[in-house]
Structure 1
Amino acid sequence: MAGRKRHSAEEIVRKLRRADELTAQGLSGDQVAAELEVSAATLYNWRRSYGGMDTDGAKELKELREQNSRLKRLLAEAELEKDALREVAKGKILSPTAKRRAVDMLTQTMGLSQRLACKAVGLARSTYRRTPLAQTPADPDAEMRAWLRTYAVKHPCHGFRRAWAALRHDEHRHVNKKKVHRLWREEGLQVRVHSPRKRAGASSFPAIAADAPKVVWALDFQFDSTIDGKAVKIASMLDEHTRRSLLNIVERSIAAERLVTELDKAFALWGGPPLVLRMDNGPELISQALQQFCRDRVGISYIPPGTPWNNGYIESFNNRLRRECLNRNHWTNLLEARVVIGDFKDDNNHRHRHSALGYLTPAEYAAGCTHTHHPVGCEIG
């Protein structure tokens, strides 16, 4: 049996004109269809679509229908791409690795073709099919990637800069910081930390700059608890210039008299008192015992109430102590808390590298620091 024949617009118009001539000769509809070698239904559809048209009109109508069909198909693909991008993520997908993951998700979850998925995320199919160098045995950075993963497991709160500092100063590897950042991102080790918007508070006290060691020591308290729900109070003190931790008190409660005793020991241990103690308006810090202890010995600088950003150095240290130590441990007893928190503060002094200190530890910086304090006078009028 011969296959179905697709007639062109010109042929349809010619056959319709021939059908009119045969009808005028008195032939029935079935006879006309048989003469033209088409079915009666096809002849009816032709008359409905092309009746009264000449050859040019029929050809133009066919082109319009094809164009309309193509536009509908493009619109459907565009809407499908929009749905796909809404399903993948908000905003732009920039890196090729992220685009590959998006294409995998669209093909597996939404059932899109590889061509349409690559078009939706803006990735060439040749790029998608190429195996990344990091997934091949010939990856030259495989050993460093493994080291970074191990470092991130050991220090989950650290970023790539701390990892680079450890590579540069502890492992003695001369590696570019931007390369470490790229490998850190590719391994998915970035931890997004929400930082609240910084605000500038107006203090009623003149600004005291810690331009040398033993000029400003910042003092503050924070709380935790053991597994039985009992409170653990922690006192910390920091030299704002060297970032060195100078005090470690971990008790159920800390009275003003106990604080004065420990401060006296700290002054003797670290070679004498500083010029100024910076602190907030806590009950232990505004006590008569502390006021008498500091009289004619060390100055006290209270930050305005409700403005912890004016004591930013110790607040930053407390934040890191909370994230890297307190939140990662639970205390079965007070002795365990004392030991672990004490080890953390010792690690801060001898192993934690500060970018503000040129990636030196506080102990290394303090040992080589030659800065001296220069008082700034105040002139009125």
Structure 2
Amino acid sequence: MTDKRQAVHFLISGGLSVQRACALLHLHRSTFRYAAHPRDDTQTVTHMQRLAAQHPRYGYRRMHILLNQTEHVNHKRVRRLWRKHRLQVRRVVRKRLRRERPARLLAAYPGHIWAYDFVEDALADGRKVYILTVMDEFTREGLALDVAQSPSSERVLGVLTALVAQHGAPGYLRSDNGAEFVARAVQVWLAECGVQTLYIEPGKPWQNGKEERFNGTVRDECLNLHVFSSLAEAHVRLSAFRQHYNTERPHSRLGYLTPLAFKSAWLEAQAKLSNPNIPT
């Protein structure tokens, strides 16, 4: 607006009338002749600053109400002065202490760390089924794909008991904080077997990344390809897939060996290292 007033003055100095100059620049004559009358807001601003100090979490709307208890102030004026003098409510940024967390334990040999989780699916008639997946983090071997219509700590104990009888107890067992895994019965049984638990932090499934990757493979290469008509069919197909996964499917993280082939090669290499009579 100031630039237009200066342009009007320039045209008037060149001989044009005020009316013609304003018309050319599309500026109303009353606007051209308007003279601002600055108001002394010192007293109001001082009052606002004092109230803002007393009530640091109040915004300009509440401040307008408080100001009008002693003087009449338009709410637009309060907002303008509020912004001009930067009296807005400041966001409270709390400093979060970064807690030192222990380094994530990595599997160093077969049977060192197992991981388990539940995967949800449904039968053809809509009934939900829950697949308990158990895998060895070092060899990536799928140890169990147990399917049932409900998850429970009793079921977890049954599967773990059978696996320990077949493979021996692992050193550690990694899982999330699901009710079935943190149940006291499960913790007592694991302690009796000498198995230590590795519970991941809530909301951080990537801390159980190998198990999540195994679950994704089960879903992508088995569950998404079949519609199970019954629990028995689901059991048969999942058992067949586990056999295929362990003995036929090349695994990219194992140098494209199958889990059982990788396990066999690792054990053979360890045997050679422990026996100096075997040439390498």
Q: Distance in 1 between matches of 2:101 and 2:183?
A: 20
Give the CA deviation at 1:249.
1.1
Q: Distance in 1 between matches of 2:201 and 2:222?
A: 29
Ranges in structure 1 where 5+ consecutive residues have no aligned partner: 1-201, 373-381
* Match of residue 156 from structure 2: 259
Q: SS of the residue aligned with 2:182?
A: coil
Q: Distance in 2 between matches of 1:363 and 1:326?
A: 23
Q: SS of the residue aligned with 1:311?
A: helix
- Which residue, out of 243, 255, 270, partners 1:346? 243
Query: Could you say if the C-alpha distance between residues 219 and 324 of structure 1 is closer, same or farther in structure 2, counting changes exceeding 3 Å?
Result: same
Give the CA deviation at 1:259.
1.1
- Which residue, out of 132, 141, 147, partners 1:250? 147
Q: Distance in 1 between matches of 2:257 and 2:245?
A: 11
Q: Distance in 1 between matches of 2:257 and 2:239?
A: 20
Give 1:352's aligned amino acid. R
Give the CA deviation at 1:203.
8.4
Q: Distance in 2 between matches of 1:204 and 1:220?
A: 23
- The equivalences for 1:1-381 within 5 A come to 204-270=101-167, 272-296=168-192, 297-370=194-267
Q: SS of the residue aligned with 1:348?
A: helix
Give the CA deviation at 1:205.
4.5
Query: Could you say if the C-alpha distance between residues 205 and 281 of structure 1 is closer, same or farther in structure 2, counting changes exceeding 3 Å?
Result: farther
Q: Distance in 2 between matches of 1:240 and 1:341?
A: 20
Q: SS of the residue aligned with 2:161?
A: helix
Q: Distance in 1 between matches of 2:151 and 2:210?
A: 22
Give the CA deviation at 1:323.
1.1
Q: TM-score, normalised by structure 2?
A: 0.58
Identity of aligned residues (%): 37
Q: Distance in 1 between matches of 2:252 and 2:137?
A: 14
Give 1:274's aligned amino acid. P
Give the CA deviation at 1:281.
0.5
Give the CA deviation at 1:206.
3.6
Ranges in structure 2 where 5+ consecutive residues have no aligned partner: 1-98, 271-280
Aligned 8 A contact 1:204 1:304 in 2: no
Q: Distance in 2 between matches of 1:261 and 1:329?
A: 26
Give 1:263's aligned amino acid. L
Q: TM-score, normalised by structure 1?
A: 0.43
Query: Could you say if the C-alpha distance between residues 246 and 253 of structure 1 is closer, same or farther in structure 2, counting changes exceeding 3 Å?
Result: same
Give 1:295's aligned amino acid. A
Q: Distance in 2 between matches of 1:216 and 1:203?
A: 23
Q: Distance in 2 between matches of 1:264 and 1:204?
A: 31
Q: Distance in 1 between matches of 2:123 and 2:158?
A: 25
Give 1:259's aligned amino acid. V
